[in-house]
């Protein structure tokens, strides 16, 4: 089976299988949306069928809900779950601080709500999604249909003062008609090239009238699982990463207080 997959699908499958290990009996689990998340749902379905795994899943889109039911996963709503043990989802981009761009699949609003309502968010991805600075992938912004042109203008004006490389804003289409989210909204894709300050961008966008939510996931992700085409997997945990970044260098002098002598 794996030999018949493309290199990209082998990487996604490897990441999904490793991330499935985070799901234990009795858990309430957020199930992401997109091609990589679909691999996860199928892997979990196998464990439900073959190993008797018992958990309840909260899908982040109608597409994911349909797939989860097909593979035998018990599906509940977020209101029924109350709070989640873990959410596992894909990402369009991630940086060294575990900040993400999501929403390429059009489900960013439900994805962000579900991820935020979880004790842990695990992102499954491949090496091509890692970037030094977010923004190469167009940033999705969900907007209400009413006054959408005005909202688009407000976004364009706001981008004028932001540290970005591009400022093109396009309406996402589904054939000849605007793409419609599960909540009945539309998506504007911001082609920025590079986002100098992702946190500022997220806050600014969500203050604009007509904007429902944006695809920047800041301080949400806890673990990144990176699958490779050869079946190997890298696992990065935000706790250990932050510890490494904060650890002072003592190569030159083991006594950190030497220079503090009066």
Annotated ligand binding at 230? The verdict is no
Q: Which residues does the annotation mark as catalytic? A: 111
Residue 232 has pLDDT above 50, yes or no: yes
- pLDDT tens for each residue of 94-129: 999 999 999 999 999 999 999 999 999 999 999 999
Tell me the H-state helices in the chain.
Answer: 7-19, 35-51, 62-70, 78-81, 108-116, 148-159, 198-206, 238-246
**Domain 2-239 indexed as CATH 3.30.565.10:** no
60's tokens = 């982040």
What is the number of alpha carbons within 13 Å of residue 177 lying toward its C-beta?
A: 5
**Other C-beta atoms lying within 10 Å of the C-beta of residue 63:** 18
Euclidean distance between CA atoms 18 and 227, whole angstroms: 9
Annotated ligand binding at 129? The verdict is yes
76's tokens = 């509940």
Annotated ligand binding at 91? The verdict is yes
Residue 154 has pLDDT above 50, yes or no: yes
Residue 256 has pLDDT above 60, yes or no: no
Q: What percent of the chain has pLDDT over 70?
A: 91
Euclidean distance between CA atoms 244 and 225, whole angstroms: 18
- pLDDT tens for each residue of 161-215: 999 999 999 999 999 999 999 999 999 999 999 999 999 999 999 999 999 999 9
Q: Where do the domains of the chain lie?
A: 2-239
- Kindly write down the DSSP assignment for every residue of 174-211, as one continuous string: ETTEE---TTS-EEEEEE-S-BS-HHHHHHHHHTSTTE
pLDDT of residue 259: 45
Binned at pLDDT 50, 70 and 90, residue 242 comes out as low
């Amino acid at each position: 089976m794996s030999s018949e997959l493309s290199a990209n699908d082998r990487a996604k499958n490897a990441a999904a299988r490793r991330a499935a290990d985070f799901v234990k009996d009795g858990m309430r689990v957020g199930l992401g949306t997109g091609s990589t998340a679909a691999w996860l749902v199928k892997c979990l379905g196998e464990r439900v069928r073959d190993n008797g795994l018992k958990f309840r899943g909260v899908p982040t889109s109608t597409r994911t809900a349909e797939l989860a039911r097909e593979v035998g996963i018990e599906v509940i709503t977020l209101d029924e779950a109350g709070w989640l043990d873990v959410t596992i989802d894909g990402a369009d981009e991630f940086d060294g601080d575990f900040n993400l761009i999501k929403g390429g699949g059009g489900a960013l609003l439900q994805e962000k709500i579900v991820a935020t309502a979880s004790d842990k968010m695990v992102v499954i991805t491949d090496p091509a999604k890692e970037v030094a600075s977010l923004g190469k992938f167009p940033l999705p912004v969900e907007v209400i249909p009413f006054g959408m042109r005005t909202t688009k203008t407000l976004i364009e004006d706001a981008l004028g003062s932001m540290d970005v490389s591009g400022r093109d804003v396009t309406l996402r289409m589904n054939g000849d008609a605007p793409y419609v989210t599960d909540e009945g909204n539309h998506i504007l894709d911001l082609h920025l090239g590079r986002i100098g300050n992702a946190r500022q961008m997220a806050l600014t966008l969500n203050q604009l009238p007509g904007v429902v939510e944006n695809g920047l996931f800041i301080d949400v992700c806890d673990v990144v699982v990176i699958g490779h085409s050869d079946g190997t997997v890298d696992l990065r945990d935000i706790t250990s990463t932050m510890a490494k970044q904060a650890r002072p260098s003592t190569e030159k002098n083991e006594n950190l207080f030497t220079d503090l002598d009066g």
